[in-house]
Structure 1
């Protein structure tokens, strides 16, 4: 599980693109698809375009470049959802954009469910009537400051089918486009009426199987929505040849690897896709990621009662991490119960013993606080009945735009 990429006249690295605000694809450049001659049946999205692109788009439509600056302000500052609501722009320009197939790229919220702790899960209804989930997690720090984390999805469903994960049980539909990732963050901001400070790619899907769109969304979140790179975490269960590729961009973000077992045999039982990516290979790639980026890797470890939560497993995990060098942290996640699962949540005593065994062997570890459990919005519970089949026309319920508070 577990954010048209930018265009410019020359091929540059993604890291350079972040510094210069130019837009390139991961491996090659493309042209901004802005001309009015293009097929009017082809839908294009403004959300995700840089200020420079929006200026060029305006010029292509016979407008002054300052109209692009206005577009940028409307999209990322005022966060307007419909082109016809761009009241600062000439009506002719607005009509031309729509006739050429341009849309903002914001989708309606199908339903919002809020847990007793304030965590809110949104179901966003996409253009093809499929639903994708995103979660807003508000946190009050001890110093009185507040943070808002958006847990975003990168796919509709997930093809990897980790045995403990609700999303995988729902099947896989398709990859999300970059604007469909970005709009999740904007939806969370709109609901909570405050800025998102942190983004974690830990929602539905495997980000590394949709790396191009994820990196396009990442650029927009960082450069246009102004979320710091170090406030963004990209999670992966491990896809061969992708961690090294991600490291080459030298992003200043945290890589979170869903490990869940200290040895290959047990990991294959919990994470079926591990059969194609041996543990030694994935640990080497994580070590190289740290050496390349100097950013610590976080190892996500879901504790399953009687399966991988013993002190023996903790000792084996510590030995594995020490074997592959420094620059790591273990984030322990007590299993969140889901319907139809044979797994159980470990006891508090087992969790404490696991942490103690790691820390006594000089491995830093933390236990993730369970948030949103009563709204089925906690880690591993992102699931909905429409993952494979889109909504039928007109099937949205009467509460689709309301917030439903659940008692604890």
Structure 2
């Protein structure tokens, strides 16, 4: 095991992953909450409170909410069933701002589209549109940058800049649907950032998804590297959303090397918390496992996973690693064989369908390209 740790250590750049300290886990900053000038991002309760403050009847809040998310109004004047005087008042203090799509990469082979979105302050995030038999799913970012320091992820390059507001998360859906003429039926919060480190805005976003966009709770998935206190808090919310945990190794020491945030929360505590989440919500937890050659794809790793999850009502999602530029790890060539070992051991697992392989598919790559001022290919790639 010491040889394995040294091998992994040598692959990791001199970042937080090697300095002996777990990265800070900043939670939502109140200064980064919903910008008071932007109506887009207000929950139903927020719209009602605004109308109350303006001396308007409560039903005006529902009308505004429906215009924002049901009808996707892009300007206050578009909210035509609001009295003109009210609209004029709103325009003196409020705007409706989605940001803008800065660039698109399209994979013609599977229909995946990755979009770079510029926010009001000039910062950029990514969102990924994925086509499935059941419809369209969108992978949404929750922060600009990330503080978690995972060694295999491009999102953490440059660290955390700031949290996204609920409106900036919701705008990713509005922009994609408007640009592509599609309707999103499922949302996964697996893009740039750690969602549970932006907890309050995440909850507002989930409310908007459910009440505004009409997306059912069971069609919403939140992915986390495993911030135990926030998972416990999320369990107490009694939401029927899906929880996905970035596991990536059954060994605590290896996990700490590739995921510095794991140093704060030992694996046994994390697994106990996940079991409690299932007991409280009735929602089975999914564990994500990106297979890296020689790091977590060995026979002993499969045996350890079987030991951890035997008899448990969990799902293991095996992922073919999308290598990042100058990244320390290579994708495993043993994905199918690894899955077979797990299934033989009684573990419920699937191999995630690989999408976007002809574009900058790894999380954070497109934003990193923009930051480095590298020309971005915006025409469809993957052409024969």
Q: TM-score, length-normalised on structure 1?
A: 0.79
5+ residue gaps, structure 2, are 1-33
Decide which structure has greater helix share. Answer: 2
> Are the aligned partners of 2:192 and 2:363 in contact in 1 as well (CA < 8 Å)?
no
Query: Does the alignment pair 1:284 with 2:272?
Result: yes
Pick the aligned partner of 2:330 from 330, 344, 353. Answer: 344
C-alpha deviations, 1:45-88, integer Å up to 9, x for none? 32233445435533543545554443233212220112233344
C-alpha deviations, 1:283-329, integer Å up to 9, x for none? 1111111111111110000000111111221111110123xx52210
> Are the aligned partners of 1:157 and 1:173 in contact in 2 as well (CA < 8 Å)?
yes
| Residue equivalent to 2:28 | none
Pick the aligned partner of 2:349 from 336, 355, 365. Answer: 365
Query: Does the alignment pair 1:119 with 2:112?
Result: yes
C-alpha deviations, 1:13-54, integer Å up to 9, x for none? xxxxxxxxxxxxxxxxxxxx9xxxxxxxx7333223344543
Q: Distance in 2 between matches of 1:280 and 1:286?
A: 10
| Residue equivalent to 1:332 | 318
* Residues matched between the structures, number: 348
Q: Distance in 1 between matches of 2:45 and 2:166?
A: 18
Shift of 1:90: 4.1
Name the stretch that deviates more: 190-199 or 64-73.
64-73
Q: Distance in 2 between matches of 1:380 and 1:300?
A: 18
C-alpha distance 164-56 of structure 1, shift in aligned 2 (>3 A): closer
| Residue equivalent to 1:3 | none
| Residue equivalent to 1:46 | 39
Q: Distance in 2 between matches of 1:288 and 1:198?
A: 25
> Are the aligned partners of 1:161 and 1:271 in contact in 2 as well (CA < 8 Å)?
yes
Pick the aligned partner of 1:269 from 254, 257, 266. Answer: 257
CA RMSD of aligned residues (A): 2.4
Residues 2-401 of structure 1 mapped to structure 2, 5 A cutoff: 43-51=36-44, 53-63=46-56, 65-100=58-93, 102-116=94-108, 117-140=110-133, 146-322=134-310, 326-347=312-333, 350-379=334-363, 381=365, 383-385=367-369
Q: Distance in 2 between matches of 1:374 and 1:172?
A: 27
Q: Distance in 1 between matches of 2:50 and 2:240?
A: 30
C-alpha deviations, 1:135-193, integer Å up to 9, x for none? 111112xxxxx311110011001111101111112422001111111111222222231
Q: Distance in 2 between matches of 1:45 and 1:331?
A: 38
> Are the aligned partners of 1:332 and 1:367 in contact in 2 as well (CA < 8 Å)?
yes
Shift of 1:385: 4.3
C-alpha distance 68-356 of structure 1, shift in aligned 2 (>3 A): same
Q: Distance in 1 between matches of 2:309 and 2:95?
A: 48
Shift of 1:244: 0.9
Q: Distance in 1 between matches of 2:203 and 2:182?
A: 24
Q: For 1:286, what is the secondary structure of its paired residue?
A: helix
| Residue equivalent to 2:18 | none
Q: For 2:141, what is the secondary structure of its paired residue?
A: coil
5+ residue gaps, structure 1, are 1-32, 34-41, 141-145, 392-396
| Residue equivalent to 1:24 | none
Q: Distance in 2 between matches of 1:105 and 1:352?
A: 45
Q: Distance in 1 between matches of 2:53 and 2:266?
A: 50
Q: Distance in 2 between matches of 1:273 and 1:54?
A: 37
C-alpha deviations, 1:353-389, integer Å up to 9, x for none? 11111111110111111111222134574643456x9
Q: For 2:332, what is the secondary structure of its paired residue?
A: coil
Q: Distance in 1 between matches of 2:68 and 2:364?
A: 32
C-alpha distance 131-300 of structure 1, shift in aligned 2 (>3 A): same
